[in-house]
Structure 1
Amino acid sequence: MPALPELARRIALAPWWALELLSSAKSFADNPLLGSARLNRLGLHRVRLRAAHALSARRRAGLAAALAPAEREAFARDGYLVRHDLLPAADFAALRESLLARPAPAREMLQGDTLTRRIALDPAFRRAVPALQGLIEHPLFRAATRHVAAYDREPWLYLQTILSHVRAAAPDPQTHLHADTFHPTMKAWFFLGEVAADEGPFTYVPGSHRLTPERLAWESRRAESAAREPCRMSARGSLRIEADELPALGLPPPRALAVPANTLVVADTFGFHARGPSLRPGLRIEVWAYDRRNPFWPASTDAPLAWLGLLPRRAPLYWAALDARERLGGGRNPWRDAGLKRAGDPAA
């Protein structure tokens, strides 16, 4: 039986844990209801998966008309879209030069031997780089990010840099095939430079975004023991998978997307994906977009946030909230303040 302080904590948190069942919460380790072997044997994880995917499919159907039929078919088949030469060459060159030249407040996180730097594309940055609006308002960028996210709103936007082999450490955990969470989500990369096959390309298992009977059974089995997984990422809801497990799920081998500059990739990261291994120290810079909302929310818009003008300000507000939580003893913010940086600056 739990000690009295622990029992009191569980009783106090029980309503919150129950509410999280109807949210995007995914951590098997942090929520004893989500991580309960008994509840998951009875079908809790299976029910959440089915409901989340059904609601996402309905929202996507309402956003489908903005994509060309060929693009809708490619996404439905593969789980991602690729468009080379998204911008006219002169526009791309001007945008790239402006993005790389501007110093701005940056945050950095180390995972294994890889450093990720992010610069929020907030209103101040956009005013300084007006050419950025041509990308944000590009018809395919708008339509694809919203369709894949299943939400009609602007995604979170960053200028992101990936610096590989910056220290002697365990490999980057993002190079292990995984799903981000249990429901459809969107990530997008607009690459400012060429990405070679041996320089950490985005890697995806085509078709793995679909909730097939095989995937549903695999998820259900993993959910029963995920809270006790030695892999911290899996225990927190980002389930890892080995390449030799894919055939049993009816899935093909992973596909590495080595692409030239001026390429847009938009993917549903419920599908299995990873950052490909980089065989040497390298630097990859992209405009990175992300959207993950409560999958059980039926509406496809965030009107209040849009009315208040908060959508472009979410990233700095989020970082400030993490800083405040750390100061109050609520856990370390992994996104450390790096001061003013340019995207291409070397790792400190």
Structure 2
Amino acid sequence: MNLSPLRALLAPLWLLSVATQAKSFRDNPVIGSRRLNAWGLHAARVSLAHRMARARRERLADRIPASDRQAFERDGYIIRPAFLPEDEFALLRDALLRHESEAREMVQGDTVTRRIALDAATLKALPEAARVLQHADWRALIRYVGSFDQEPLVYIQTILNHVRAGAPDPQTQLHADTFHPSVKAWLFLTDVAEDGGPFVYVPGSHILTPARLAWERRRSLEAASLRDKYSASGSFRIERHELAALGLGEPRCFAVPANTLVIADTFGFHARGPSTHPCIRIELWAYGRRNPFLPWTGLAPLSWPPLAVRRIPWLWRLLDLREQLGGRRNPWRRAGSLCPDAPCAGMTPTARAVDPLGTEAREARAPSAAASGVSPADD
């Protein structure tokens, strides 16, 4: 096979990345090779990654209650209603929803995802959030599900559904994030209705059964050439009618009250549930992923506290720099200084009327005119 000078230069990197969390079939011709995957490359990566995750979780198991371990092993997620004491949660919610900070937004179809980083400056301004990140259960549960003793990336995340003209949100299709176990966590700051874009998860779909492994192998043979860019990038989509053939049941919809914590292994099939109208979901959102082939749980230099709180700004700057140098466009665009529940650019008039808390709750959390120096209309 004739290689261009650039491809010849990149070939060793493509080969080495097989031993990392790299997942794109489209961007890496080794990972995306139909011949190699027919010989079992992708299936071998999936199998080894899951064996390593099981071994790491065994070493972290004593940090969480047996009931949580059993629920996770069965379902792929752990749910904690009323995670914080009521008064503590009210302080956290009010502080986060009032906080204005630099935000980034990503547009996917008719949906906008907004993130505000819990970086050093934000945590200094929000001690309520800093306390949650040090909560023993928050730390232990995320580490167990993610199988690594490391700090996740944490944001204030806002999902604005049906707020602009566009195609349907691609995150509403069931999918796995990647080929190996990884963790995401949601501490919902607002009530989530069944028709308001709830988190959806297929119980038990995190388990690497023979049927799932065979499905992964079949998908890997065609992934590099798929028109579906998400599957081609390693985040396989699946249709609901395919679940039964894998021995799986119907997805669970997490229509839950505020102050519910959900932690899930996103190798399991999950999605953002459908919404029938413009709506806003706000949460404290955490994400953790690392090289799945590492045998150890710790040794994570970037989890050192002075570095951990700087990772998100570094990541955003790196993505900006890549774009400036002619690389792929950074999907996370600067949105200015915003509160989590602020309207976004391009919102339809109907969407602008959405209030995630309701008028009564908003008035209850608004500072008085005497205390704030502004009239209520300026809030």
TM-score, normalization by structure 2? 0.89
What SS does the corresponding residue of 2:284 show, helix, strand or coil?
strand
- CA shift, 1:301, in A, is 1.5
Corresponding residue for residue 117 of structure 2: 120
What SS does the corresponding residue of 1:17 show, helix, strand or coil?
helix
1:180 to 2:152 alignment: no
What SS does the corresponding residue of 1:309 show, helix, strand or coil?
helix
Corresponding residue for residue 278 of structure 1: 275
Separation of aligned partners in 2, 1:258 and 1:57: 30
Separation of aligned partners in 2, 1:43 and 1:102: 50
- CA shift, 1:308, in A, is 7.0
Deviations 1:89-148 (A, max 9, x none): 111001111101110110000001100000000111111111112211222211111001
Q: In the alignment, residue 196 of structure 1 is paired with which amino acid?
A: A
- CA shift, 1:180, in A, is 0.3
Corresponding residue for residue 135 of structure 1: 132
Residue 219 of structure 2: which of 217, 222, 228 is its match?
222
Corresponding residue for residue 75 of structure 2: 78
Residue 28 of structure 1: which of 17, 22, 25 is its match?
25
Corresponding residue for residue 314 of structure 1: 311
Residue 328 of structure 1: which of 325, 330, 333 is its match?
325
Identify unmatched segments of 5+ residues in structure 1.
none
Separation of aligned partners in 2, 1:48 and 1:305: 25
- CA shift, 1:7, in A, is 2.1
Corresponding residue for residue 300 of structure 1: 297
What SS does the corresponding residue of 1:162 show, helix, strand or coil?
strand
- CA shift, 1:324, in A, is 1.0
Deviations 1:236-264 (A, max 9, x none): 10000000000110000111111000000
Residue 256 of structure 2: which of 246, 254, 259 is its match?
259
Corresponding residue for residue 91 of structure 2: 94
Corresponding residue for residue 236 of structure 1: 233
1:48 to 2:66 alignment: no
TM-score, normalization by structure 1? 0.97
Q: Over alpha carbons, which structure has the higher Rg? A: 2
After the TM superposition, which parts of structure 1 deviate over 3 Å for at least 4 consecutive aligned residues? none
Corresponding residue for residue 354 of structure 2: none
When residues 307 and 253 of structure 1 are mapped into structure 2, their CA distance, relative to the original with a 3 A threshold, is closer
Separation of aligned partners in 2, 1:329 and 1:260: 44
Identify unmatched segments of 5+ residues in structure 2.
346-379
Deviations 1:41-93 (A, max 9, x none): 10000110111111111111111111100000000000001111011111100
Q: More displaced, 129-138 or 252-261?
A: 129-138
Corresponding residue for residue 212 of structure 1: 209
- CA shift, 1:303, in A, is 4.0
Root-mean-square deviation over aligned CA pairs: 1.1
Separation of aligned partners in 2, 1:284 and 1:308: 29
Separation of aligned partners in 1, 2:24 and 2:93: 38
Corresponding residue for residue 18 of structure 1: 15
Deviations 1:14-62 (A, max 9, x none): 0000011000000001111111111001000011011111111111111
- CA shift, 1:302, in A, is 3.8
Separation of aligned partners in 2, 1:308 and 1:287: 19
What SS does the corresponding residue of 2:309 show, helix, strand or coil?
helix
Deviations 1:285-328 (A, max 9, x none): 00000001110122212442244721121111100111111111
Residue 68 of structure 1: which of 65, 69, 76 is its match?
65
